[in-house]
Amino acid sequence: MIAQKETAPTGRSGQSPQETFVLNLGPQHPAAHGVLRVLMTMDGEWITRAEPVIGYIHRMHEKMGENRTWAQFLPNTSRIDYLSAMHYTHAFVGAVERAAKIEVPPRAEYVRVITSELNRISSHLVWWGALLLDLGGFTPILYAFEDREKILDLLEGLCGARLTYCYYRFGGLCNDVDDAFLNGTRKFVQEMRPRLGMYRALVTDNIILRKRLTGTGQISAEMCRKYGATGPVIRGAGVAYDVRTIEPYSVYPQFDFKIPVYPECDSMARYLVRMDEMEQSLRIIEQALDRLPAGPFMGKVPRVLKLPPGDYCYAVEAARGRFMVRIVSDGKDTPYRLKLRTPSFSNLSLYEEASRGMILPDALAMLGSLDLVIPDIDR
């Protein structure tokens, strides 16, 4: 951090001039969660303003999409949010399939749900370990990455990648699942449930964590609506908004699962939402494995894919919230316009208002509870 002193007209009390200073959090700092810079104007330990500065790794994904065919842009989607790659690819193929009226076989839809929920768990495990590392606990991230490795091994067996997956195709999947994947996934579900119980005993019910997160980092439902925050952030504010139920897609309506909601609006509520979501993802995966239909894993797709002129949207519930792909087509083999609505941008936008008046340690804990992925913002 770089400190720079300045004189403000009024201090925290608003009665007399106070000496303030600016903390340069980032752009490459352990608490910045990526290449993010936050200019924090401090009055002692208290934050008077926290201004996020973004754009350090802007890659122009939308413009790249407008200069590539539909298939050529497909690998880009997993580079937007690399921790939630399956969901992002799902949204893009879903938008193209909706526009081209491509019918996806039921088996492919079930496998998409299984792999997407595995990806959600692996993403939440990274968040869990990183948040606790920010708060000073080193041991949990070792447990988190141990369990995450099991998921990465399963997904690597399907598509050869461990992070930036490109497993989905327009009309289905690049290849079918085998017995090794199905048996391995069932084994993971059986092993992960007791591990979540261990996480609860080790960390969640720990009085130190409870005191650290409870009652701090208040983000109300009204603030979430004001900035467009979604995912665990708005569900931690008491709003049961989840794209899987509000705007049903794929075969999610066929599964029985709950949407975790906590009304406390603090950092602990957002923590508990994600921990409960991992349990619900295991529940969805188990149902999908039990009901996995036989049949083809690819539908009929034109050799040369050109979408009819029009405006098409497709949204999914990614690990950090609502991700939407909007395509404007003029009938060519490339989009006329491609718009990507990413959750991390909206979730970060509320940080300046939400952190005002907080002390620095609580503001850093709240930043960790937002679960930001900076490439998702600098798309």
Q: What is the pLDDT of residues 269-325, one digit of tens each?
A: 999 999 999 999 999 999 999 999 999 999 999 988 999 999 999 999 999 999 999
Residue ending a domain, among 18, 36, 53, is: 53
Looking at residue 134, its pLDDT comes to 87
Residues paired with 41 in a beta bridge? 22, 49
Residue 149 has pLDDT above 70, yes or no: yes
pLDDT-based confidence at 58, cuts 50/70/90? confident
C-alpha span between 158 and 235 (Å, rounded): 32
Please name the residue that has the structure tokens 């989009």.
335
| pTM, 2 dp | 0.92
Same-domain check for residues 289 and 253: yes
Please name the residue that has the structure tokens 């994600």.
274
Q: Which two tokens stand for residue 247?
A: 């705007």
Same-domain check for residues 31 and 131: no
Same-domain check for residues 253 and 302: yes
Average pLDDT, the chain: 91
C-alpha span between 72 and 307 (Å, rounded): 15
pLDDT-based confidence at 89, cuts 50/70/90? very high
116 Cβ contact partners less than 8 Å away, ≥ 6 residues apart: 86, 87, 90, 316
Residue 31 has pLDDT above 80, yes or no: no
Same-domain check for residues 187 and 285: yes
Query: Helices marked H in the chain — which ranges?
Result: 61-65, 70-73, 85-100, 106-134, 139-159, 179-199, 207-213, 221-227, 232-235, 243-246, 267-291, 343-349, 351-354, 360-369, 374-377
Q: What percent of the chain has pLDDT over 90?
A: 82
pLDDT in tens, 322-357: 999 999 999 988 999 999 999 999 999 999 999 999
Is residue 199 within 8 A of residue 276, CB to CB? The reply is no
Q: What percent of the chain has pLDDT over 70?
A: 94
C-alpha span between 274 and 189 (Å, rounded): 17
Task: State how many domains the chain has.
Answer: 2
Tell me which amino acid residue 281 is: S
Nearest to 327 by CA among 70, 24, 25: 70
Residue 187 has pLDDT above 90, yes or no: yes
Residue ending a domain, among 53, 74, 91, is: 53
**CA-to-CA separations, 188 to 85, 109, 289, in angstroms, rounded:** 20, 21, 12
Looking at residue 6, its pLDDT comes to 43
Strands 168-169 and 46-53, bridge-based pairing: unpaired
Please name the residue that has the structure tokens 């467009």.
228
Same-domain check for residues 29 and 76: no
Looking at residue 322, its pLDDT comes to 96
Per the structure, the complete domain to which residue 37 belongs is given by 3-53
Same-domain check for residues 49 and 69: no
Same-domain check for residues 29 and 73: no
Same-domain check for residues 48 and 148: no
Q: Which two tokens stand for residue 313?
A: 């949207």
Same-domain check for residues 215 and 342: yes
pLDDT-based confidence at 34, cuts 50/70/90? confident
Same-domain check for residues 93 and 44: no
pLDDT-based confidence at 264, cuts 50/70/90? very high
Please name the residue that has the structure tokens 């200073």.
21
Domain with residue 202: its CATH number is 1.10.645.10
Same-domain check for residues 40 and 97: no
Same-domain check for residues 255 and 280: yes
Residue 59 has pLDDT above 90, yes or no: no
